[in-house]
Amino acid sequence: MSVTRFDTVILGAGAAGMMCAIQAGARGGRVLIIDHAKAPGEKIRISGGGRCNFTNIGASARNFLSNNPHFAKSALSRYTQHDFVALVERHGIAYHEKTLGQLFCDDSAKAIIAMLLNEMARAACELRVGTTLENLERIDHGFAVTLGGDGAGSIRCRQLVVATGGKSIPKMGASSLGYQIAERFGLTVTETRPALVPLTFGEDVLAGFREIAGVAADVRVSCGKTAFDEALLFTHRGLSGPAILQISSYWREKEPIRIAFLPGHDFFADLHTARRENGRRNIANTLGEILPKRLATYLADAHGWSGPIGDASDKKLAAIAATLHGWEVLPIGSEGYRTAEVTLGGVDTSGLNSRTMEARAVDGLYFIGEVVDVTGWLGGYNFQWAWSSGWAAGTAI
């Protein structure tokens, strides 16, 4: 088989890989990007409910989890959310801020994929989908790569960029290839676990949650010292909604999470007033004026808050208010990679150069995007990391 030479081969045509290809190609390098999926950017396509929350206006290193919280700073500060927004605007893609700085396409996430493909074509990058990595060897001044599938061939390249993403949603093509390549070349991979994922509960708790499945409430959910103010959703499988997805990245087995309903609300004052003005109402109905009715009934039943509110002492009202400000529940697990938006952990950043994403010990080998141990909060941060790290590698090559 004849051998084709490229300057750079990128494994994974997702957000990070495509951004890297654009930058490396624009600098004149001959770039090949491959993906085993039938189409590039599949996660972009399904992201943000089909509208892609492509960045967050407030993105900074504090919105990311990593063993080294400083690692992401360099890339994030050199290719910022504003740079990506400028690219989106240059392509005439209409967008809006939904909430908390989250930017979404007005129409479809497909516009972001089309934009990246357009830029890749301008930079003369070659894309091979339906293509697998069959073999990878280190050779003098680069790598020998054997590809199978639709884009089969024998390749030599000077730089190899691993942009194969995390483990979430295996049915969409997520694989562990990136972690395997890292370990094979002597890099450490930190513990990986599903993140931005709904939490599950034992049958004793779940039976109650099922009764109120579909009920949502504004909460402050906390675990240890970390807290998020967002919406929580009761489901047939446990707890979901943005607040729970956020805290799932910080939660560990056997730890409870604390839920404060309507953060900042003075429940004691409300209950006190209700007792004075309408003492014959029962406690559940009184709470049902403040919280969703089904939730109020569930909480009252679960905690034995029965009888007219007029009969409740100050001490009892204070105890009810305290529970509503800090209800502790104990998850038993998460829904796992089947529904997790991202993978926490990954290629240990201590083995990578934060400016270029190149492996410190292996010249020409780069890791970008979600495969790296940098995990963003919910809200466009993970794509921003993909753009920033892809840009950092692409401009360094």
User: What residue ranges bind ligand FDA (CB under 6 A)?
Assistant: 11-17, 35-37, 42-43, 46-48, 52-53, 132-133, 163-165, 168-169, 173, 175, 177, 341-342, 369-370, 380-383, 386
Residue 343 Cβ, how far from ligand FDA at the closest point, in Å?
8
Q: Which residue minimizes CB distance to ligand FDA? A: 14
Residue 49 Cβ, how far from ligand FDA at the closest point, in Å?
8
Cβ distance to ligand FDA smaller for residue 12 or 331: 12
Cβ distance to ligand FDA smaller for residue 102 or 286: 102
Cα–Cα distance measured from residue 395 to residue 397, given in angstroms and rounded to the nearest whole number:
6
DSSP 28-86: T--EEEE-SSSSTTHHHHHGGGGT-EEEETT--GGGEE-SSTTTTHHHHHHS-HHHHHH
Cβ distance to ligand FDA smaller for residue 222 or 375: 375
List the one residue out of 19, 7, 47, 8 whose CA is nearest residue 385. 19
Cβ distance to ligand FDA smaller for residue 35 or 358: 35
Residue 293 Cβ, how far from ligand FDA at the closest point, in Å?
31
Cβ distance to ligand FDA smaller for residue 133 or 321: 133
Residue 52 Cβ, how far from ligand FDA at the closest point, in Å?
6
Q: Identify the H or E element spanning 206.
A: helix 203-211
Q: How many CB atoms lie within 10 A of CB 12?
A: 29
List the one residue out of 122, 47, 30 whose CA is nearest residue 384. 47
Instruction: Annotate 223-258 with b (16+ C-beta within 10 A) or e (fewer).
Output: beeebbbbebbbbebbbbbbbbbbbbbbbeeeeebb
Cβ distance to ligand FDA smaller for residue 48 or 331: 48
For residue 242, give the amino acid letter. P
Residue 203 Cβ, how far from ligand FDA at the closest point, in Å?
28
Cβ distance to ligand FDA smaller for residue 159 or 164: 164
Residue 180 Cβ, how far from ligand FDA at the closest point, in Å?
9
What's the DSSP call for residue 260? E
Cβ distance to ligand FDA smaller for residue 4 or 285: 4
Residue 72 Cβ, how far from ligand FDA at the closest point, in Å?
13
For residue 82, give the amino acid letter. H
Q: Is 183 left (phi over 0), alpha (psi -120 to 50) or beta?
A: alpha
Cα–Cα distance measured from residue 149 to residue 147, given in angstroms and rounded to the nearest whole number:
7
Cα–Cα distance measured from residue 386 to residue 372, given in angstroms and rounded to the nearest whole number:
10
Residue 130 Cβ, how far from ligand FDA at the closest point, in Å?
10
**Burial tier of 304 (Cβ tally within 10 Å: 0-12, 13-18, 19+):** exposed
